[in-house]
Every structure is written in C-alpha cells, then in structure tokens.
Amino acid sequence: MKMVSALLASVTLAAGLAASFSASAQDTIKIGEINSYSGLPSFTEPYRKGWQLALEQTNATGGVNGKTLEVISKDDGGKPADAVTAANELVSSDVVVMLCGTFFSNIGLAVSDFAKQKKILFLAAEPLTDAITLSKGNRYTFRLRPSNYEQAAMLAEEAAKLPGKKWATVAPNYEYGQSAVAVFKKLLSEKRKDLEWVGEQWPPQGKIDAGAVVEALAKTEPDAILNATFGPDLVKFVREGNTRGLFKNRTVVSFLTGEPEYLDPLKDETPEGWIVTGYPWNAVNIPEHAAFLKAYQAKYNEYPRLGSVVGYSTLEAAAAILAKAKSTDSEKLVDAAEGIQVDTPFGKVTFRKSDHQSTLGAFVGKTALKDGKGVMADVSYRDGAKYLPPESEVKALRPQD
C-alpha cells in the first residue's frame, strides 16, 4: 500500500505544483501582498479597496519607473504558518520585489522574520505590536500604522488632563491587550504621579463574559476606565456597561473605538464622551484627504473605513519606495525606504531611519451620538512623529545586528 501512497502523494503534489506556476510579464513590477482576507473581512475588505484604488491611480499616471505596477495578493487565513507559506510562494514562485500587508501582530512578526531571512523588503501595514519595530525589529521590515506605543501616548496625553485618580483597565488577554495596557500605564504614570490603579480585567479575546467583567470593574469604583477591547467584545461590554450604569460619572479612554469598523456596529447604543482613537472620515480637515475621499466614494459608492486609508497608504508607500530606488534590488529598496517621505490621505508621512516606523498619526476625539449613529466629535489629528519613542532611545531597544 505504500506504493499507492507514494503514487497518490506524488500526483497530488504535482497538481499542487502545477497550479502554482504563474506567467510573468517583462514590463511589470510585482509586489506581493498578504492579508487576513478570510479572517477579518470587516477590516480587510475596505483595506483591499484602498490599495486597489491606489494601484489604479498609480498605473493611470504611468506606473512606477515606466513600468506597470502589479499586486499579487494572497490570503493567510489568519494563521502565521499560512502567511509564511504565502510569503514563500510570493517570493519564490511569483518573484515579487517586495512584500507588504498583514493585519495581526503575530502574523506581522512571522512575515517580518521571514523577510529578514530571505532578505526582502517587508512593509507591514496594520500590525500594531511594538515588537515589529523595536524588540524584534530588523533591517528589512518597515511599518506604516501607528504602533501601540503611539496610540497609548496619544490617549495618555488626554487622560492626564482628567481629574480622576483611580483607574481600572479592561483589555483582551493577548499580547496586543497586554502591551496596550502596559504602555498606557507607564506613560500616564509618568505624567501623573498621583494615580492609583485599582482594578484590571483580562477577558479572553472574543469570549468576554461581559456581565461578570462589568460587575468586577464596578466593584473597584474607579474614576476612569481604560478599555482596549474591540469588535464583538466591545459590543457586549458597551451593552452591559450601559445597562448596569458602569459608565455613569466615569470617563472611559478607549483604544480603536473611533474607527468606523468598530464604531458603526454600536449604532444607537454608542456611549457618549469616551476619549478614543479613530478615523472620523467625514470630519477630516487635511487637504490630501478630501481628494482621497472623493475618489474612494466615486469608485466604490461607500464611505472609507480606516482599513481603506491603510491599504491606500501602503500602496502609495510601496510605489514611492520603488520610484526613489529606481531599482528592484532589495538592498537598494531598503536604503531608499529609510527616511522616505510618502503622501498619504493624512498628509506627508516619513519612515524613520532609526526604527523603520512611519509617522502616520491618528485622530483622537470623543464619541457622540448623531442621528442614531456613533460619530467622533472634538477631533484632532495627532502626528505620529510627536508620539514615538525618541530616536536616541530606539537603538537600544532594537536587536543589535
């Protein structure tokens, strides 16, 4: 029977190999893109629309270095192992000149390490973990989105103005939640030495027992609460919190809640007065954004989400790097990417040489209810550059090559 198994195995392998060959054209530059399209479609569908819009615009104005830009996009199913397989296929079979994308922090780290091993440029779009540019940073990895550190710093700045002294935290029990809380605590305690951290809750990601968590938080009688839950967990937390009066006379500071992906599902139950980071798509004053908004709405007939901005900016950055390097050699691309300035819907953004982090910022504002929907009010754009760890400290935080 081993004969049969060997035969069957080789046949199935051959079928798999045959399917993975792809034709290549001479006049295109190929970029590889990986994201969790099946794992988190509420973010990745707008994200895809964003980069497809940017791709169309780039190629309409002559492409890059006289060649058409082509994006080969793969799904990673939300698993780091499959993301590495996809990256490998892109690099070995499809022969792309650089990689970009990813959403989850662990996938971002896996692909970043792969990029380091294969010596190819990787532009991480969305992963928020500080490790990508700091403790596990490497020469070939760049990151677009403002990191956990930056968002925590933006929120801490606002939180320091609040009168309350007793704080409680609630965050999902995985690296993102843990580091969001840890950095926020550190930065806020530096600004306000009189604070007391009275309680913390760590519901498992996706499985919050909201009633019990809300009660446990209420018991500690905090003056203010830091929230890092998102998605369905946030919905449950808000519902239970509203019904049980957790948010009465308390200020809540919350990561990511102002992003349309997380704010829209709350509809008329949006809690008011929360200090949040997000993207108030219809209240942005930056000139570049108006053009982006118009083009996006014209093409897709819907409003952009934060994912759309991330996708658009990622492709703009990739095109800019290729144009500056005038080459597709990885080392030249990395050298060009260090310190490059890119136009994004939030204005000009630079990729720092010290840690390869972009200075893309975020909007901070307060949640409010308008016509039965949640919106952000009192918004202001925070430039990422002001909230990053200083360049002098960064070298010590990165691994020594």
Partner 1 sequence: MTFLFNQFVTGLASASSLFLAACGLSIIFGVTRIVNFSHGAFYMIGAYVAVTVTERLSGGFGFWGGIILGSLIVAAIGALVEMTLLRRIYAAHELLQLLLTFGVTLVVEDLVVLIWGPGDLLGPRAPGLKGAFDLFGQPFPTYDFLLIAAGPLTLIAVELLLRRTRWGILVRAATQDREMVAALGVNQQWLFTGVFTLGIFLAAFGAALELPREAASHTMDLQIITEVLVVVVIGGLGNVLGTFIAAIVVSELNAFGILVLPKISIILVFLVMALVLVVRPWGLLGRPETAIRAASGLQIIRWRPLLSVERISLAAGIVAAALLPLVAGSYALTVASEVLIFMLFAASLHLLVGAGGLVSFGHAAYFGLGAYGAALALKQLGLTMAPALVAGPLLGFFGAFLFGWFCVRLSGVYFAMLTLAFAQILWSVAFQWTEVTGGDNGLIGVWPSAWAAPAAHFYWLTLALVVAGIALLRVVLFSPFGYALRALRDSELRAEAIGLSRHYIQWIAFTVAGTFAALAGALYAFLKGSVFPDDLAIPLSIDGLAMVLLGGVGTVGGGVVGAALYKSLSIWVISHTDYSKLALGLLIIGLVSVFPQGVLGAWSKLPLGRLKAGRS
The C-alpha atoms of residue 266 and residue 263 are separated, in whole angstroms, by 6
Q: Which stretch binds partner 1 (CB under 8 A): 38-46, 51-59, 188-196, 366-374?
A: 38-46
DSSP assignment of 156-205 equals: HHHHTTS---EEEEE--SSHHHHHHHHHHHHHHHHH-TT-EEEEEE-PPT
Q: Which stretch binds partner 1 (CB under 8 A): 3-11, 296-304, 309-317, 372-380?
A: 3-11
**Looking only at residues 322 through 341 of this chain, which bind partner 1 when binding is defined by CB under 8 A?**
none
Q: How far is CA 58 from CA 30, 200, 331, 346, in A?
A: 13, 47, 23, 18
Q: Which stretch binds partner 1 (CB under 8 A): 82-90, 145-153, 249-257, 333-341?
A: 82-90
**Looking only at residues 8 through 27 of this chain, which bind partner 1 when binding is defined by CB under 8 A?**
8-10, 12-13, 15-17, 19-20
The CB-of-269 to partner 1 minimum distance in angstroms stands at: 7
Which positions from 166 to 185 touch partner 1 by CB under 8 A, shown as an x/- string?
-------xxx--x-------
Say whether residue 259 binds partner 1 (CB under 8 A).
Answer: no
* Of positions 92, 282, 297, 380, contacts partner 1 by CB under 8 A: 92
CB proximity list for 66: less than 8 A, separation 6 or greater: none
Say whether residue 204 binds partner 1 (CB under 8 A).
Answer: yes
Distance of CA 338 to the CA centre of its chain: 20
**Looking only at residues 45 through 64 of this chain, which bind partner 1 when binding is defined by CB under 8 A?**
45
Size of the site for partner 1 (CB under 8 A): 86
3-state helix, strand, coil in the chain (%, to 5): 45, 20, 30
CB proximity list for 56: less than 8 A, separation 6 or greater: 299
Say whether residue 215 binds partner 1 (CB under 8 A).
Answer: yes
Torsion sign across C-alpha atoms 154, 157, 163, 169: positive
**Looking only at residues 96 through 135 of this chain, which bind partner 1 when binding is defined by CB under 8 A?**
105-106, 109-110, 112-114, 116-117, 129, 131
Say whether residue 273 binds partner 1 (CB under 8 A).
Answer: no
Identify the residue whose tokens are 């700091």.
134
* Of positions 24, 56, 88, 341, contacts partner 1 by CB under 8 A: 88
